[in-house]
């Protein structure tokens, strides 16, 4: 399967997306969300489906406003002080996210032999968007809060950690067979804060899920973690670690314990290019991870301009190598 295998690069996704007003309407209409979740399996025969939703549906469910603006991405009213944190209401999460659980049930009923992966953002990455009020190149407000008001930042992260356990647990109860934690901005922290805000909440989430749902694997994706990926894998107990594009698979294989699967890590832009360049990169990654559990994937999500036929070529290359 591939990160962001559902989305704008697929004409059949754009057709469904055109039937609703916005992204939130699509994510909360189970019939349509289930349909788009299954699109890449129908087109390419992927071995896993990833729930169609977004990491920001959790802040939305907590009562923080959320809007997806065309060409601009997500926009939220920033949370930067204690009064704003106090407006977040964990009590409304389960009810608000009920349509997403119905999507999980629908997909599970139709997914056949493929694996259904549920997901959430990691508490740190979700906090980045909540504090900043949307995407950012450097998440300056968030990092400044983490250093300058550690008690408040900690309170926000604790609230998100508890809510994420409940959210992922509900997805598993609805039929998710594995879950992934997207920590897209893990790499912007100092090593000290990486331990506090990335490793520690992730370890808490994995432990709570293992207790409630023994045997359900958790895939962690601490993007741009560099050499801290080994410590992340050892301390969090995830069953698989996603490698970002910049990670050297051979080095990662020496840092991460042998029983932990590695997932990744073709550059999404190599997929845009296709052809011989993509094939060489793909073969290099497969060779570097030969002999250990490897889930072939990208190093980050598929980008909108990706030609769908390049994805078909990639699936063929990976199948031929396996």
Compute the distance between CA of residue 90 and CA of residue 315 in angstroms, rounded to an integer: 40
- What's the distance, CA 247 to chain centroid? 17
For residues 122 and 169, which CB has a smaller minimum distance to ligand 1CP in the complex?
A: 122
DSSP 117-129: EEEEE-HHHHHHH
Task: Examine residue 23 and tell whether it contacts ligand 1CP (CB under 6 A).
Answer: yes
Compute the distance between CA of residue 73 and CA of residue 141 in angstroms, rounded to an integer: 18
Active site residue 8: yes
Active site residue 195: no
Q: Is the peptide bond before 200 cis (omega within 30 degrees of 0)?
A: no
Task: Examine residue 60 and tell whether it contacts ligand 1CP (CB under 6 A).
Answer: no
Are 219 and 240 in contact, with CB atoms under 8 Å apart?
Answer: yes
Q: Which of 13, 129, 167, 232 is catalytic?
A: 129
Among residues 16, 34, 41, 55, which is the contact residue for ligand 1CP, using CB under 6 A? 55
Tell me the closest approach of the beta carbon of residue 186 to ligand 1CP, in angstroms: 10
Which range touches ligand 1CP (CB under 6 A), out of 45-53, 171-179, 211-219, 305-313? Answer: 45-53
Active site residue 54: yes
Task: Examine residue 17 and tell whether it contacts ligand 1CP (CB under 6 A).
Answer: yes
Q: Which of 8, 155, 195, 292 is catalytic?
A: 8
What residues have CB less than 8 Å from 294, skipping those under 6 apart?
A: 261, 262, 263, 286
Among residues 9, 60, 119, 153, which is the contact residue for ligand 1CP, using CB under 6 A? 119
For β-strands 261-266 and 294-298, DSSP reports them as parallel
What residues have CB less than 8 Å from 251, skipping those under 6 apart?
A: 227
Task: Examine residue 74 and tell whether it contacts ligand 1CP (CB under 6 A).
Answer: yes
Q: Which residue is nearest to ligand 1CP (CB)?
A: 135
Footprint of ligand 1CP on this chain (CB under 6 A)? Answer: 3-8, 17, 23, 50, 52-56, 68, 73-74, 119, 135, 182, 184, 301
């Amino acid at each position: 399967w591939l990160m962001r295998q559902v989305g704008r690069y697929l004409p059949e996704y754009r057709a469904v997306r055109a039937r609703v007003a916005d992204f939130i309407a699509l994510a909360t209409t189970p019939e349509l969300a289930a349909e788009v979740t299954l699109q890449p399996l129908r087109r390419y025969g992927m071995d896993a489906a990833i729930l169609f939703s977004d990491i920001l549906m959790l802040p939305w469910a907590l009562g923080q406003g959320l809007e997806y603006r065309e060409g601009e991405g997500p926009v939220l009213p920033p949370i930067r002080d204690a009064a704003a944190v106090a407006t977040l209401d964990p009590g409304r999460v389960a009810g608000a996210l009920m349509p997403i659980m119905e999507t999980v049930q629908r997909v599970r009923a139709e997914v056949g032999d493929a694996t259904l992966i549920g997901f959430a953002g990691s508490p740190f990455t979700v906090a980045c968007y909540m504090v900043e009020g949307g995407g950012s190149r450097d998440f300056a407000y968030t990092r400044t809060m983490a250093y300058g008001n550690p008690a408040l930042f900690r309170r926000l992260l604790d609230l998100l950690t508890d809510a994420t356990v409940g959210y992922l647990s509900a997805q598993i109860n609805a039929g998710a067979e594995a879950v992934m934690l997207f920590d897209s901005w893990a790499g912007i922290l100092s090593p000290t804060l990486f331990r506090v805000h990335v490793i520690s909440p992730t370890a808490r989430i994995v432990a709570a899920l293992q207790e409630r749902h023994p045997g359900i694997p958790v895939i962690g994706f601490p993007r741009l973690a560099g050499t801290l990926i080994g410590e992340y894998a050892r301390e969090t107990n995830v069953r698989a670690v996603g490698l970002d594009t910049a990670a050297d698979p051979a080095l990662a294989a020496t840092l991460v314990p042998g029983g932990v699967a590695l997932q990744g890590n073709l550059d999404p832009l190599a997929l845009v290019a296709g052809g011989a360049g993509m094939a060489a990169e793909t073969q290099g990654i497969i060779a570097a991870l030969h002999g250990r559990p490897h889930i072939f994937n990208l190093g980050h999500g598929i980008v909108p301009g990706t030609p769908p036929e390049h994805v078909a070529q990639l699936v063929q290359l990976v199948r031929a190598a396996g």
